[in-house]
Structure 1
Amino acid sequence: MLPCMRLRAITLDCSDPLALADFYRRATGLAPHPKSNADFAGLDGPDGVYIGFQRVADHRAPSWPDQGVPQQLHLCFTVEEHLDEAEARLLALGAGKPDHQPHEDRWRVLTDPAGHPFCIVRG
């Protein structure tokens, strides 16, 4: 029998943990972790899942869809509003939008301020 594992945290490398945590806080409404600091910040998510942001010297943003600097992971979020509305809201918060959109009618690929790709899909 395999051990039962439950996802506890997802951590993203970046150059400014507090700024990236604030972007995701404003985008998701998740609460900031009370012990966040300039080297490691976090958000407390539902069901105990934690999103962390850790300072990495010389962080290089992923270059999606080009793999010169691979993405290594990406997050997907369900949104309740229309994709156009969610995209506009996230762009206003500081997200970027790559030119390459594989299925723009079904989901959108955006990048956070540190360059990590993430997707939004209608819930």
Structure 2
Amino acid sequence: MSLQMKLVAITLDCPDPPALAAFYQQATDLELHPKSDADFAGLNGEHGLLIGFQRVDDYRPPSWPDQIVPQQLHICFKVDEDLDVAETRLLELGAGKPDHQPHGDKARVLTDPVGHPFCISLR
């Protein structure tokens, strides 16, 4: 008999949980978790999935693609609009864009304000 597990949370390390939660909240329109504070902030995602952000002292951002500091996690998002429009909006919110783009025109790799890489692609 196989074990049935349901993913309920993904948590990212960061230096400032409320700030990183604000970036992802603006990018996704997800609702801020009511128990967020200076050490842990969360966003309530679809189907009960919580995206959490926890404070880590001496946080070191991932380096991508070289992996000198491992990326630890890579999140992918689907967007409804043109990739150029979505990318521009995310860059305005504080995302970065690495020079290395392995997916051609099908997806874009960006980094959140503290260096976690994530992809956007069309639905």
TM-score of the pair, normalised by structure 1 = 0.98
Counterparts in 2 of 1:1-123, with a 5 A limit? 1-123=1-123
Q: Percent identity?
A: 70
Q: Which amino acid aligns with 1:116?
A: H
The 2-side partners of 1:51 and 1:72 are apart by 15
**Per-residue CA distance 1:2-41 (angstroms, 9 max, x = gap):** 1100110000000000000000000000000011000000
For structure 2, which runs of at least 5 residues remain unmatched after alignment?
none
State the 4+ residue runs in structure 1 displaced beyond 3 angstroms: none
How many Å apart are 1:104 and its aligned residue? 2.9
**Per-residue CA distance 1:53-109 (angstroms, 9 max, x = gap):** 000011100000011101011100000001000000000000000000001300000
TM-score of the pair, normalised by structure 2 = 0.98
In the alignment of these two chains, the number of paired residues is: 123
Cα RMSD (Å)? 0.5
